[in-house]
Structure 1
Amino acid sequence: MQIASIAESEPFYQLRHLAVRDLAWCCLSAPLLQALPQSEAQILPLDTGDLWPWLHKLDKNPTALLTALASVKSTRLGIYYETLWRFYFSHNPDWQLLVHNLPINRGKATLGAFDFLCKQGNDFWHIETAVKFYLCATRDPQQAIDWRFWIGPNSNDRLDLKLARLCDHQLPLHTTPEGRSALQTHFPHATHWKSGLCMQGYLFSPAPINLNPVALSRTEAMSHFIRPHHNHPSQGMGFWWHLRDFLHINTTTKNITADTVWIALQRAQWFSPVQLSDAELTTEAHLFNDKLCQQVQQTKRPLMIAAVKKCRSDNSEDIVWREVLRGIVVADDWPATLE
């Protein structure tokens, strides 16, 4: 869980390059859900064994990964996530990437596309991928079980609708007549296809009223998280605030934790836990309030934030700042008043 202590997140911080840390996050962090009863798809990531030697080797020479990422011009997080998985399936010796984004047509209409067709040992896989960030639009834990109360930061996405599309359309694509025909044409030796879903991200609960979560112990903070049905117990969690509430909390509790500072996250920092040098932190902390008001207040766009804590680097006496809590600040009218 992303609110875990620094010690529990240390393996990620041993990787120097952000892209390699993000790849490790894809391979090793928990999925959003531990089960999807409406589908026969297996929830991924699978138990991939000990990936750390491979990841550390890649961290020493990340040229292949950086080249793969640079070849993709889109800045969308979903495309970045998909590219990381494409690199994994292409370079991990346990997997063979057969095809990526194979479109399936019915006449002149496109039914969809297979995200990934892969082979692992003797097994053939159709795998769909998605990275998602949802905020719970209720404080009632019983209501929060219902997927429809989990909404995307821009209010244009909802967990129940995403899961319905996955179950009804994307995951069963290989079972449609057109899907079966395409698979038979391209891979006649494959007699059976397994289905897999890799959906990762973060879930954000309404922040505790009039409390600064950074000042809470890990156990106290966890008690304020509310969860949807079938949520994975190790899923990354955080809090969300309306702008007015965050500004109030941040002003009234400014000096409660001198060694912990809020920073704004760029979209490139939305995946793996954040680590900054002392010099980087000084710049980020100085710009935080301006970014907060400009983005959320003026443009009405949500801002992902993180609380980072001062500590010693693992391999030196250098000061580094590492993430201990993640959050999102949204406009005051998002999406409606909580009960």
Structure 2
Amino acid sequence: MQTHTIVNLNLLASLRHQAVRDLAWCCFSSPLLAALPESDAQILPLPDGGHEINQWLTQLDRHPEPLLQSLAQAKSTRLGIYYEHLWRFYFSQHPRWQLLAQNLPVYKGKLTLGAFDFLCKHGDEYWHIETAVKFYLCDTHDPQQANAWHHWLGPNSNDRLDLKLAHLTEHQLPLHQSAEGQALLTKTFPQAKHWHTGLCLQGYLFSPAPPKLSSSDLAQSIPGKYFLRPSHSHTNQGSGFWWYLRDFLALISDCNTATDQHAAADLHWVILEYHQWFSPIELRDEASLQNPLRLSERISQHLLQTQRPLMLAAVKKYDAGDKSTEIVWREHLRAFVVPNEWPHQQTKH
């Protein structure tokens, strides 16, 4: 699989429920950053016993009702809320963690200064943890320029990595160190003498697709040199490419050429719905795969009507590996297709 994560692939292949697969992705996928300069926050997730978590997730996949009931309490279908509720379940159910509070607001008079995403206990340690899931596209082909955080934009270009990290560093993560935050924590949790700071920032980074990559090239293992990295990014961070609509349509058309017939049979593109944006996709129904012409029509219609980028995954055919003759299609590469005018609006500060 081309998405470079530390996800336990054997475990993931054994999980059937989407929500459990997404929870596993939260537990095991690499964070966006290996370090956050000018912050004392520890980068999460912590290495909390892989074998123990594997058993827990496997059991949960057999009986997912507690997780599904917990997720059903979410009052929004936004990805950030879904991500937050996955971590809420983790901190509530994992034997090494205890959830003390979630989204606890901090006030200064009638003014709300912010809210603690999670307040938790881990062993004898108390933790203030901020969580976020993000998807950033690099707007330059230059590897040196790509080091700068401001070159990484959200799909709708209303978000930017440098602005998000500045808000985390200057406002969200130090909230428990403010006078108001300290007063609230002392009043609510007087037994806690010290609070550790944790940041769980996960997601995917997308580089502009090299113009000379063909469909047959994409079907192979793609060299890491093609994936750009912002400063301090994690080496195992999930990666993908992005294409302008016109270029992606040309790539899809290229699948029908004689030289790419083998690649076309080996690699298929599927549109990812919002609820499929986290864990690598796995399909067991070949009927869900669309021919390139129909796929091109759907992508064109979506982008021309909404002017919103679309996430896709390229899947490859594998044996199921569970002593059956079943064929599965597993994610090989993740991608965004963006309008030809992207970025089409000014990034908000």
Normalization by structure 1: what TM-score? 0.94
Contact 1:133-1:152 within 8 A present in 2 as well: yes
Equivalent residue in structure 1 for 2:233, among 231, 236, 241: 231
User: For 1:142-200, what per-residue CA distance to the aligned partner results, in whole angstroms no more than 9, with x for missing partners?
Assistant: 00000000000000000000000000000000000110011001100100000000000
Equivalent residue in structure 2 for 1:263, among 270, 281, 286: 270
- Residue 320 of structure 1, CA deviation: 1.1
Equivalent residue in structure 1 for 2:329, among 291, 314, 321: 321
Q: Which moved more, 1:243-252 or 1:264-273?
A: 243-252
- The 3 A distance-change label for structure 1 pair 318 and 124 is same
Secondary structure of the equivalent of 2:74?
coil
- Residue 218 of structure 1, CA deviation: 5.7
* CA distance in 1 between partners of 2:227 and 2:220 (Å): 11
* CA distance in 2 between partners of 1:254 and 1:304 (Å): 22
Contact 1:308-1:322 within 8 A present in 2 as well: yes
Cα RMSD after superposing both structures: 1.9
* CA distance in 2 between partners of 1:137 and 1:115 (Å): 30
- Residue 72 of structure 1, CA deviation: 1.0
Instruction: Note the residue ranges of structure 2 that are not aligned, 5 or more in a row.
Output: 345-349
* CA distance in 1 between partners of 2:338 and 2:67 (Å): 33
Contact 2:252-2:292 within 8 A present in 1 as well: no
In structure 1, the partner of 2:129 is: 127
Contact 2:2-2:222 within 8 A present in 1 as well: no
User: For 1:228-272, what per-residue CA distance to the aligned partner results, in whole angstroms no more than 9, with x for missing partners?
Assistant: 000100000000001011111111234621121001000000000
* CA distance in 2 between partners of 1:110 and 1:284 (Å): 52
Contact 1:144-1:228 within 8 A present in 2 as well: yes
User: For 1:256-299, what per-residue CA distance to the aligned partner results, in whole angstroms no more than 9, with x for missing partners?
Assistant: 21121001000000000000113453369785323311221221
Contact 1:100-1:116 within 8 A present in 2 as well: yes
Mapping for residues 253-292 of structure 1, pairs under 5 Å: 253-254=255-256, 256=260, 257=263, 258-282=265-289, 288-292=295-299
Secondary structure of the equivalent of 2:251?
helix
In structure 1, the partner of 2:312 is: 305
- The 3 A distance-change label for structure 1 pair 222 and 254 is farther
Instruction: Note the residue ranges of structure 1 that are not aligned, 5 or more in a row.
Output: none
- The 3 A distance-change label for structure 1 pair 278 and 286 is farther
* CA distance in 1 between partners of 2:215 and 2:146 (Å): 20
Matched residue pairs, number? Answer: 335
Mapping for residues 130-279 of structure 1, pairs under 5 Å: 130-212=132-214, 215-216=217-218, 220-254=222-256, 256=260, 257=263, 258-279=265-286
- Residue 70 of structure 1, CA deviation: 1.1
1:143 is aligned with what amino acid? Q
Mapping for residues 25-64 of structure 1, pairs under 5 Å: 25-50=25-50, 51-64=53-66
Contact 1:137-1:149 within 8 A present in 2 as well: yes
Secondary structure of the equivalent of 2:212?
coil
Contact 2:219-2:266 within 8 A present in 1 as well: no
Q: Which moved more, 1:195-204 or 1:243-252?
A: 243-252
User: For 1:22-78, what per-residue CA distance to the aligned partner results, in whole angstroms no more than 9, with x for missing partners?
Assistant: 000001000000000110000000111121011001001000000111111311000
1:128 is aligned with what amino acid? E
- The 3 A distance-change label for structure 1 pair 55 and 214 is farther
- Residue 216 of structure 1, CA deviation: 4.0
* CA distance in 1 between partners of 2:60 and 2:34 (Å): 29
Normalization by structure 2: what TM-score? 0.92
2:249 is aligned with what amino acid? L
Contact 1:281-1:321 within 8 A present in 2 as well: no
Query: Identity rate of aligned residues, in percent?
Result: 56
Equivalent residue in structure 2 for 1:334, among 309, 324, 342: 342
Contact 1:238-1:326 within 8 A present in 2 as well: yes
User: For 1:316-336, what per-residue CA distance to the aligned partner results, in whole angstroms no more than 9, with x for missing partners?
Assistant: 211111100000000001127
User: For 1:104-162, what per-residue CA distance to the aligned partner results, in whole angstroms no more than 9, with x for missing partners?
Assistant: 01111110000000000000000000000000000000000000000000000000000
* CA distance in 1 between partners of 2:191 and 2:155 (Å): 44
In structure 1, the partner of 2:82 is: 80
- Residue 213 of structure 1, CA deviation: 5.9
User: For 1:86-119, what per-residue CA distance to the aligned partner results, in whole angstroms no more than 9, with x for missing partners?
Assistant: 0000000000000010000111111000000000
1:142 is aligned with what amino acid? Q
* CA distance in 1 between partners of 2:162 and 2:93 (Å): 34
- The 3 A distance-change label for structure 1 pair 290 and 253 is closer
- Residue 8 of structure 1, CA deviation: 7.1
- The 3 A distance-change label for structure 1 pair 280 and 43 is farther
- The 3 A distance-change label for structure 1 pair 62 and 75 is same
